[in-house]
Amino acid sequence: MYLVEKNINKLNKMGFTFFLDPRELKEVTSHLKKNTYNIYKPYIDSERNILYKDELPRVILYEIISKKELRHQDILGSIYSLNLDISLFGDILLIDDKYYIYILEHIRNTFEMDFKKIGNTNIELKEIDLSYLENYSRSYEEIELIVTSLRMDTIVARLIGTNREKIKELVKDKSIIYNYELLKDYSKVLKEEDVFSIRKYGKFKFVGIIKTTKSNNYIIKLLKYI
């Protein structure tokens, strides 16, 4: 509730929030009257978006230029190491082997000065016009699995080819993010549109049950973020 109040205060005092993930956006808007806010989406199906009243804060889009291949988790780790509020950053996108990142304009100087390496790899930042990606739509790999239940440990074990005991270890090691929070309950039952990430394996969206087999198992569909 504290974060909801914090974001509502930002909206009322500054006229806008910082970037909100889908869970935060849903929680904040549930406490607001309709027609008292707008939602800014940097591109068609962006995940991290901004609530604003009248005037949108300045958002900047950078291309991250590197001579070596980068990984999403390494970029994110380097951003965390800057010790800046993560809500100042929007989505990180990989498109045609190029990485892009959205930030709020008021951290531009700090970001350009301090974000010069990802791991041991030197990088450069090139500002891109926001309109360049405004019509971008994410690509996904469709995955179908047969599972015995919709529990998180069952689905993840089947997805990465391991057993449920290993999933308990992953949860204990804080390696699974569920709907933008650390997963604490490995027996959580997945619902349609739930999103989860598994360290080293990627990010997934649960679409739902396609059908039930004669042996009462489920054929489910997942989307893997590309």
From first to last of the 226 residues of the chain, give the pLDDT tens digit: 788 999 999 999 999 999 999 889 989 999 999 899 999 999 998 999 999 999 999 999 999 999 999 888 789 889 989 999 999 999 999 898 899 999 999 999 999 999 999 989 999 999 999 999 999 988 889 999 999 999 999 999 999 999 989 999 999 998 999 988 889 999 999 999 899 999 889 889 999 999 999 999 999 999 998 7
**The pLDDT of residue 192:** 93
**The pLDDT of residue 147:** 97
Alpha helices in the chain, H assignment, sequence order: 2-14, 22-29, 72-80, 108-114, 152-160, 164-172
Q: Are 62 and 93 in contact (CB under 8 A)?
A: no
**The pLDDT of residue 2:** 80
In sign, the C-alpha dihedral spanning 103, 200, 69, 97 is negative
Domains and CATH numbers, the chain: 2-52 (no CATH), 59-133 (3.30.70.330), 140-225 (3.10.290.10)
**The pLDDT of residue 71:** 83
Which backbone phi and psi does 80 adopt, to 5 degrees?
-60, -35
